[in-house]
């Protein structure tokens, strides 16, 4: 039997990057995956790829910043076994040059978006006395990363929410963990370099890669492998944990 056979998994921000890799891996492991994404075209494309490879998947246009949109997305589900809160946005700037609007923008997606999904999913899990939740935090939850004030603050909140949910629902069969990646090579990274460093792209890519002591960025598939373990029964004794997947940043720098 595959690791996630007969499980229904919701993955947010699943149209591209890490979310797409997680949805793809979960489907390969036997889960029926519901891809939530605000970008209809991306979600549909990722879903088509999964189905073409023999997996079970469906796309839903869901904006995690909207309580109504999230509620509507979950109301269409008959149950939920796994929730992966992956949707998030980046932000660059220190305290002084991070505007109030930018701070709110980041928190609305990275914190309130997870809050909306947790509020919708946890009651469904509690009814069945079972469920696995995985939140995407960051090494920024634990370390001081230069010029990432709003982003780091939001990811610190993600870790705190993880611990709170793990504590409050441990008696209801619900496990809640988070992953703390360092830099991962996604289309976002490529787009960022193309926009901000068009003349020194290769140099900046090498610099971003070298930040990890292992000498490279992670891949979405590596994040997905850890996500699969933490959402499977193989990790049934793990809850309230924050797993570093960072090429040695946290321990070797």
Q: In what order do the strands lie in the sheet with 82-85?
A: 56-61, 32-37, 8-12, 82-85, 131-136, 174-181, 242-245
Domain extents for the chain?
8-184+219-252
Please say if 192 is a catalytic residue: no
Q: Span 105-114, mean pLDDT? A: 98
Q: Span 127-152, mean pLDDT? A: 97
Least confident interval from 23-27, 43-47, 192-196: 192-196
**Residue 55 has what pLDDT?**
98
Residues 50-103 have pLDDT tens digits of 999 999 999 999 999 999 999 999 999 989 999 999 999 999 999 999 999 999
Band of the pLDDT at 253, cuts 50, 70, 90? confident
What is the model's pTM?
0.97
Q: Above 90 in pLDDT, residue 47? A: yes
Band of the pLDDT at 196, cuts 50, 70, 90? confident
- CB atoms under 10 Å from CB of 229, counted, come to 14
Q: What is the mean pLDDT of the chain?
A: 97
Catalytic residue among 115, 151, 169, 243: 151
Task: Return the CATH architecture of domain 8-184+219-252.
Answer: 3-Layer(aba) Sandwich (3.40)
Distance of CA 253 to the CA centre of its chain: 24
């Amino acid at each position: 039997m595959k690791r996630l056979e007969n499980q229904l998994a919701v993955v947010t921000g699943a149209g591209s990057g890490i979310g797409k890799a997680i949805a793809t891996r979960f489907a390969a492991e036997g889960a029926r995956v519901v891809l939530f994404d605000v970008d209809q075209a991306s979600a549909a494309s990722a879903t088509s790829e999964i189905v073409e490879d023999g997996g079970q998947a469906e796309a839903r246009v869901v904006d995690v910043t909207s309580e109504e949109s999230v509620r509507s997305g979950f109301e269409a589900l008959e149950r939920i076994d796994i929730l992966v809160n992956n949707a998030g946005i980046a932000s660059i700037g220190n305290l002084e040059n991070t505007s109030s609007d930018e701070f709110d923008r980041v928190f609305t997606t990275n914190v309130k978006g997870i809050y909306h999904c947790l509020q919708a999913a946890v009651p469904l899990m509690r009814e069945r006395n079972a469920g696995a939740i995985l939140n995407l935090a960051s090494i920024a939850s634990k370390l001081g990363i230069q010029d990432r004030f709003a982003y780091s603050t939001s990811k610190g909140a993600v870790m705190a929410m993880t611990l709170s949910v793990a504590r409050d629902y441990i008696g209801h069969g619900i496990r809640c963990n988070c992953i703390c990646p360092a830099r991962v090579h996604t289309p976002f990274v490529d787009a960022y370099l193309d926009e901000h460093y068009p003349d020194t792209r290769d140099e900046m890519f090498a610099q971003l890669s070298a930040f990890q002591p292992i000498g490279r960025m992670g891949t979405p598939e590596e994040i997905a492998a850890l996500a699969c373990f933490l959402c499977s029964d193989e990790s049934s004794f793990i809850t309230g944990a924050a797993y570093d997947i960072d090429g040695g940043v946290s321990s070797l720098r």
